[in-house]
Amino acid sequence: MSEHLPILQVVVPLLAGPLCLLLRHRLLVRGLATAVPLACLTIAGLLLHRVQQVGAISYHIGGWAPPLGIEYRIDLANAYVMVIVSAIAAVVMPFLPGHMGSAMVRRREHLFYAIFLLALAGLLGISATGDMFNAFVFLEIASLASYSLVALGRHRRALVAAYSYLIIGTIGGTFFLLGIGLMYQMTGTLNMVDLAHRLPEPMSPGTPGSRTVLVAFAFLAVGLSIKLAVFPLHQWLPRAYAHAPSAVSAFLAATSTKVSYYLLVRVVFSLFGAAYVFDALKLDRLLLPLSIVAMFAGSTAAIFQTDLKRLLAYSSVAQIGYMTLGVSLASVTGLTGGLVHLFNHALMKGGLFLAAACYGMRLRSSRIADLAGAGRLMPWTTAAFVTGGLALIGVPGTAGFVSKWYLVLAALEQGRWLVAVLVVASSLLAVAYVWRVVEVAYFADRDAGAHPIKEVPPLLLVPTWILIGATVYFGLRTELTAGVAEAAAGVLWESLR
Amino acid sequence: MSPEQAIAAALLVPLLGAAGVLLCRRRPNVREAVTVLATLLTFGAVASLVPAVTAGGRPGLELFEVLPGLPLAFAVEPLGMLFALVASGLWILTSIYAIGYMRSHHEGHQTRFYACFAVAIAAALGIAFAANLFTLFLFYELLTLTTYPLVTHHGDERARRAGRLYLGLLMATSIVLLLTAIIWTYAVAGTLDFRPGGILAGRADAPLAIVLLLLFAFGTGKAALMPFHRWLPAAMVAPTPVSALLHAVAVVKAGVFTVTKIVLYVFGLDLLRTSGGGEILAWVAAATLLLAAAVATVQDNLKRRLAYSTISQLAYVVLGAALANGTAALGGSLHVAMHAMAKITLFFCAGAIAVTAHKTEVSQLDGIGRRMPITCGAFFLASLSIIGLPPAGGTWSKWFLVLGAADGERWAMVAVLLAGSLLAIGYLMPVVVRAFFYPPPAAGEGHGEAPLLCLLPLTLTALGCVGQFVFAEPLYRLLAPIAGM
C-alpha cells in the first residue's frame, strides 16, 4: 500500500470528484468532500516523512519504466508543496457549504464539490508528476476547475472575471504546451529527469538546436508566469480573487499560484539548470526588477482599494514578487526564501481570505467602509485579520518575518544591499494597507441604521484561526518550513542536471 | 525559585495578568486587584535575580531555536537587570496611580487599557532580558504594537492621527533601518548573541561599522534621536499613566537600552572608538540633546514640554554610550534609572494636576502650588533630578557622564552636557516658580490636592529621586562590570 502513495495522492481526489456526481445526496457528498482533503493531507504528510528519510521516490505508473512510462517523482520540494496544498483544502472545507452565496449553488451542491475536488486533484497532480505532458494535463484540469469556481461568485461580475481569467489562463496554458512541444522536438522525451539529461548543451550559440531550446524555455517561462501572475502578467488575479466566493479565493490564493511557482522553479532549476538560466540567459536581470516592481506596485495598489478582497488580491501580487525575487537572487538562500514564502504566504493569505469570508457572511459586503464597528462586534475575526496582517508586514514572531529574513539575507550575501533595503521598505506599504482596515474596524462606529452583526459561529472561526495560528507558530518554529525549504532548495539547486 | 524560573515568571506573570484582566472585565475591583497582584509578583520575580547578577552571575534561559543559530533566548546582565528593575518596580506605582486617574477621569475601555499595559510590560522585560538581537527585536516590535491601542485610547481623530504617526515612525525605522542592520550584522558576524567586547570587532572594517552603527542608532526609533523623535510628543494624547510609565520609562528606555546594549555587546567600545563611529553618534546625540531641550522651553502644554525634555534626556544616555569609555557608559546607564524615576514623577504630577484642576498648560498653573503643595513639591524634587542637582539621583548620572567626557578630553561634549542641564533649568523651573510664587487667579477654585491614589505614588517616586542620591551604591555596584570597573 505505502509504495502506492504517490499515485493515491492524485487518484483519491480525482476519483472522488466524479463520485460526488453519483452520490448526489447532500450529506454524503459533504462527508466525502471533507474526508478527501484530510486523506490527501495524511498521504502528503507520509510522503514528506518518507522523502525526508530515504530521499526522492520514483513511482512508475502501471509499472511502465520511465522515460517511456509516466513517472511520479516525489522529492522534498514537491512533497512540501503537496502538504500545504492539501492542508489548505482541508481547512477551507467548512466554509464551502455555508458560504456559497447563490441559491443555484445550494441546490446543486454536489456539482460544486465535484469541481472543487477536481481542482485539488489537478493541483496535486502538477506537484506529483515527473512528466511534463502530464503536468500540462493537470495544469489544465486545475485551471478549468478554477475558472468555474470563480464564476460561482455572488455577483454577476464574477462571470466576467472568470471569463477573463479563462482567456488569459488559456494563453498561459497554451504557451506552456508550446514549450513542451519544442522540447519534445529536440529530445524526443517528456520525462523531466530524461529531459534534463537530453536537452542539448545550450551554452554556446553554435550548438545545433540551441535556438529552439531557448524558445522552448521562453514559452515555458512566460506561460508559467501568467499562471503565477508575475508582474506585469497579473491582471487576471485581482479581478478573479475579488469576485470569486471568499472561500474559493482563500483556496486559490493559497494554492494555485503556489503550485505554478513550484512548477516554474522546477523548470528553471531541474530542467534547464541554474547555469543556463542565470549565467547564460541572465534571467535574473529581468526577473529581479520585475519582482521588485511587483512588490511596490502591488502593495501600492492595495493601499488604494476600497474592497477588502481586492486589497488582499493586490497584496498577493506583491507577495508573489517576494517569491520570484527568491528565484531571481539565484542562490540557495534566495531560493529558500522563495520556498519558505510559498508556504508562509499560503497560510497568511488563506487565513486572511477566510477572515474576509467571515466578514462577508455577517456584513454581506466586502467593502472596507462596511467593516466599521467590526472590531467590537466580531472580535475574534478581527483579531485574526490583524494577526494575519502583521504576518504580511513581516513582524517578528510571525511567518512573514522568516520569509523576509531569508530574502534579505540572500540579498546581503551577494552584496546587493539596495535590494535588501527595498525588500524591507516594501513591508512598510503593507503596514499602510493593513492599518487602513484596522482603523476602520476598531475606530469607526457602525451606522445606527445598519443591520445588526455578531461573531461568526465556531465552525468558521476554528479553521480561520488554524491558519492564523499557524502563521504565528511557523514564525517561531521553523523546522518544518525553513528547514524543509532549505533542504528542498539544496535539492533543486543541485538539480537533476 | 531558580533564576531560570524567575526569568520565566517575570515574562509570564504580566501575560497571565493581562489574561486575568480580560476575564474579570465585568468586575472592575477584581480586575484592578489582578493588575496590582501581577505587578507585585512580577517585581518580586525580577528582584529575586538581583543578588545573582550583582555577584557576577549571568542567569539565562534558552527556549528554542527559531532559525538556525538564532534561539529565542534570555540572559540577564547588569544593564538589562537595571532596566527590568526600573520598569517592573515603577509598574507597581503606575498601576496604583492609574486606578486613581482612570476612575477620576471616567475613562472608557479600561479593561483594554490594563490588559495592553500588562502585555507592554512583558514586552519591555523581554527586551531587558534578551540574549540576542533577534529576541530583542521580537519584543521591541511587540512593545510597539501593544502600546498602539494605549496611544489611541480615546479613539477620536486626534488620537488616531497620533497613532498613525506613532506606529508609522516606529515601524518604519525599526523595519527599514534596524532590521536591515540586524540581518547585515548576522551576515557579517554569523551570530546575533550579545557578547562582552562585541561580535563585530575584527569582522567589520571602519566604514561598515559606521554605517551599521548609524542604522542601529536611527533604526531604534524608540531612542527618539532627531529627526525620528516626532512620535513621542504625538504619543502624549494617551492617558497620563501611559505617558508616565511607557513614554517616560518603558518604551523610551527600551530604545536607549537597545542602543547602549548594541554599543556594548555588538560593537564593543574599542570598535566604536577606532572606527570613528562613536564620534559621529556623539554629535548626533549632542544635537538632539540641545535642540530638544530648546524646543521644550517654548512648549506651553505641560505634557509636551515633558516629552521634549524626555527626548533631550534620552540623548544623554545615547551620548554616554557614544563617548566610548567605561565611565561615560556607566553614567549613561545610571541615567536610565535616574531619569526614569524623575520623569515618571513629573508625569504623575502633570496627570494629578489635569485630573484635579483640569489644567494642561503651563500658563494656567499660576499659584497652583498653594492648593496642591505636595504635588508641586514632588514636581520640584523631580526637576532637580532631571537638571542634575543634589539632593536627587540625577546628580550621579550627570557626574559620571561629565567625568567620562572629561576623561576623554572631549571638552565640547562637556559643554553640551552642562548646557543641557542649564536648558533643563530653563524649561522646568518656570513651572515650579509659577506654581509657588505667582498669585493664583482671582476667581477661587474649588479643588484641593489630587486624589489619594494619585498622590501616594507621586510622593513615593519623588522620595525615590532623593533615595537614588543617598543610596546610589547598590546601583553603582550592579553596573560597575559593564564599565570595566
The count of C-alpha atoms lying within 13 angstroms of the C-alpha of B429, restricted to the half-sphere facing its C-beta, is: 10
Whether pLDDT at B352 is above 80:
yes
Interacting residues of B445 by C-beta distance below 8 A, sequence separation 6+: B357, B371
**Could you report the per-residue pLDDT of B22-50, keeping only the tens digit for each?**
888 888 888 888 888 999 999 999 999 88
pLDDT at B435 over 80: yes
| Amino acid residing at B144 | T
Whether the pLDDT of residue A97 is over 80: the answer is no
More reliable by pLDDT, A99 or A185? A185
Q: What is the pLDDT of residues A215-244, one digit of tens each?
A: 999 999 999 999 999 888 888 999 999 988
Statement: residue A166 has pLDDT above 80? yes
> Measured between CB atoms, does A409 come within 8 Å of chain B?
yes
CA dist A128 → A44, A45, A188 (Å): 10, 13, 22
pLDDT score for A296: 94
Q: How far apart are CA B53 and CA B51, in angstroms?
A: 6
Determine whether the interchain pair A409/B183 forms a contact, defined as Cβ–Cβ distance below 8 Å. Answer: yes
Contacts of residue A386 in chain B, CB cutoff 8 Å? none
B 162-181 near A (Cβ less than 8 A): 164, 167-168, 171-172, 175-176, 179-180
pTM, two decimal places: 0.91
Cell digits of residue B346: 513629573
Mean pLDDT value of segment B198-224: 88
**B321 vs B264: CA distance, rounded Å:** 8
Answer yes or no: is pLDDT of A204 > 60.
no
- Separation between Cα atoms, residue A443 and residue B156, nearest integer Å: 8
In this prediction, residues A362-384 reach a mean pLDDT of: 86
Closest C-alpha among B382, B401, B312 to residue B343: B382
Which of chain A's residues have a Cβ under 8 Å away from the Cβ of B219?
Answer: none
Phi/psi for A34 (5° steps) reads -80, -35
pLDDT tens digits for B119-157?
A: 999 999 999 999 999 999 999 999 999 999 888 888 888
Element (H, E) at B67: strand B60-67
Residues of A in contact with B137 (CB under 8 A): 396
Mean of the per-residue pLDDT values for chain A? 88
> ipTM value of the model?
0.88
- State how far the alpha carbon of B2 is from the alpha carbons of A465, B6, B15, B48, B74, in Å: 36, 6, 20, 9, 14
Q: Tell whether A253 lies on the interface with B, counting CB pairs under 8 A.
A: no
- Residue B187, chain A, CB below 8 Å: the answer is yes
Distance from CA of B401 to the nearest CA of A (A): 35
Closest residue to B176, CB basis, from A397, A421, A442:
A421
Select the residue from B64, B137, B180, B182 to test the A interface by mutation, using most A Cβ atoms within 10 A: B180
* CB < 8 Å to B155, chain A: 442-443
> What pLDDT is attached to residue A347?
93
Shortest Cα distance from A153 to chain B (angstroms)?
A: 35
What's the confidence (pLDDT) of residue A102?
A: 52
Phi, psi of B287 (to 5 degrees): -60, -45
- DSSP letter (8 states) at residue B109: -
pLDDT mean over B2-19: 89
Per-residue pLDDT tens over the stretch B93-102: 888 888 888 8
Q: B247: which residues sit within 8 A by CB, 6+ positions away? A: B232, B235, B236, B238, B307, B310
3-state SS string over A333-395?
A: HHHHHHHHHHHHHHHHHHHHHHHHHHHHHHHCCCEHHHHCCHHHHCHHHHHHHHHHHHHHHCC
Is the pLDDT assigned to residue A106 strictly greater than 70? no
E-strand stretches of B133-217: none
Residue type, B191: T
Q: What are the residue ranges spanned by the domains of chain B?
A: 276-485
**Interchain contact, A420 vs B152, CB within 8 Å:** no
Say if residues A125 and A59 touch (Cβ distance below 8 Å): no
Query: Residue B72: enclosing H or E segment and its boundaries?
Result: strand B70-75
Grade residue A497 by pLDDT with cuts at 50, 70 and 90.
very low
Radius of gyration of chain A measured on its C-alpha atoms: 22
Q: Is A304 on the interface with B (CB under 8 A)?
A: no
* Number of neighbouring beta carbons within 10 Å of residue A415: 10
**Grid cell locating A162:** 472568470
Confidence of residue A419 (pLDDT cuts 50, 70, 90): very high
Residues of chain A by 3-state class (helix, strand, coil), percent to 5: 80, 5, 20
Nearest to B463, CA basis, from B382, B376, B363, B362 = B382
Q: What does the alpha-carbon distance between residue A402 and residue A478 come to, in Å, rounded to a whole number? A: 8
Is-cis flag, bond preceding B474, omega within 30? no
Alpha-carbon distance of A68 to B47, in angstroms, equals 74
Are residues B274 and B202 in contact, defined by beta-carbon separation less than 8 angstroms?
A: no
Q: How confident is the model at residue A496 (pLDDT cuts 50, 70, 90)?
A: very low
Residue A367 vs residue B248, higher pLDDT: A367
Count Cα atoms within 13 angstroms, Cβ side, for A350. Answer: 33
User: Is residue A203 over pLDDT 60?
Assistant: no
